[in-house]
Amino acid sequence: MNVEEYIASGILDSYAVGAVSDQELREVNCLASIYPEIRHELDELMLSVENYALLHSIEPPTGLRDRIASQLTFEEADDNNTIVRPLPLDREAPVAATQPYTYKTTWMVAAAAALLVLFFSYFLITQLQSNQKAMASLREANESMQNELKQTRTSQQQTEQTLAMLRQPGTRTLELRGNDKSPKGDILVFWNPGTKQVAVEVKSLPALPADKQYQLWSLVNGKPIDAGVFDGNLDGTALQKLNRAIAEADAFAVTVEKRGGSPTPSMETLLAMSPTA
C-alpha cells in the first residue's frame, strides 16, 4: 500500500475533524497502528484540530465545578492507600493468573504420568500373563512330548523285546482267542521250548479288579501247569515275560485267578485256550 497516497487522499484530515464513518474510523486506526508515517501525520492533524478547538475556550460559570463534583463519588485520598492499594492488585493479578495454571499443569502432568504408568503396568501384566500361558503350554507340550517319548521308548523296548524273542530260533507264536466269556479276548503267547521262555502280549482283554490277575497255564498231558500271571489292562501291546520255565506244552490256556496266581486253575474262568500243535 502506498502510504503517501493514503495520506494525500484526505481521509486522515476527515478523521481529525470527526467526519468519517465507523468503518473508515476503524480503518484509519488500524493503518495508523501499522504505519508510523500515518501515525505521525494523524497525530499532527489531531493536534492542529485540538489547538483550533482550544481557541474557542470559554471559562464556564463559577459553581459548575461544585455542581459536577456533587454528582461524582470520590474516594478518600489517603497517602498510605495510594501506595499500598495497587500492590495487592499487582500481586494478585499474576498470582491469580499463574497459580491455577501451574497448579493445573502439575496435576495434568501427574495425571498423565499416572496414566502412563497404569498403561505400562497393564501392558506388563498382559505380557506376563501371556508369557505364563506360553510357558504353561510349552511345559504341557514338553510333558506330553516326554510322555510320548517315554511311551515311544517303552514301546520300542517292548518291540525290541518282542523282536528279540522272535529272533530267537525256535520261538513259537500262538494266538489265543477268547471264548464266549471273553469274546474279544485275544492274546499272543510266545514260547520258546529251547530256552523255556514264555511271554504274552495282550491284544485285548477285559480289565480286572485289583485283586485279580490273568494266569497262563500250559497243559501237559491234560495237566495244567502254572506258566505265570500277567495283567490284562496294560496300555499298548506290552510284552509280558512270564517267570516260569516251560519246557513242554500241548496247549496254553488263560484263566482269571486271584492276584499272584493259583496253584490250580479255576476252570470256570477259562477265557481262552489254544493248542500248541
Partner 1 sequence: MKRQSSLVSESVLIEKLVQRDQKAFHWLYDQYSPALYGVVLRIVREEEHAQDLVQDIFVKIWKNLDAYDPSKGRLFTWMLNVARNTAIDALRAQKSQPSSANAIRTDEENVHVVDRQHNTQQPNPEHIGIQDVVSQLRPDRRQLIDLVYFGGYTHEEAADELNLPLGTVKTRIRAALQELKQLFKS
Instruction: Please report, as ranges, the residues that interact with partner 1 according to CB under 8 A.
Output: 8, 10, 13-14, 16-19, 44-61, 64-65, 67-69, 71-75, 77, 81-82, 85
Cell of 84: 499500598
Nearer CB in complex with partner 1: 23/57: 57
CB of 119 to partner 1, least distance (A): 50
Spatial separation of the C-alpha atoms in residues 156 and 150, rounded to whole Å = 9
Interior angle at CA 20, CA 18 and CA 22, nearest 5? 110
Nearer CB in complex with partner 1: 48/151: 48
CB of 42 to partner 1, least distance (A): 10
Nearer CB in complex with partner 1: 14/276: 14
Contact 189/227 with Cβ under 8 angstroms? no
**Amino acid code (one letter) for 80:** N
CB of 71 to partner 1, least distance (A): 5
Nearer CB in complex with partner 1: 13/231: 13
Q: CB under 8 Å to 265, separation ≥6 — which residues?
A: 215, 217, 224, 253, 255, 257
Spatial separation of the C-alpha atoms in residues 184 and 182, rounded to whole Å = 5
CB of 91 to partner 1, least distance (A): 18
HSE toward the beta carbon, residue 93, CA cutoff 13 A: 4
Nearer CB in complex with partner 1: 9/233: 9
Q: CB under 8 Å to 184, separation ≥6 — which residues?
A: 178, 204, 205, 206
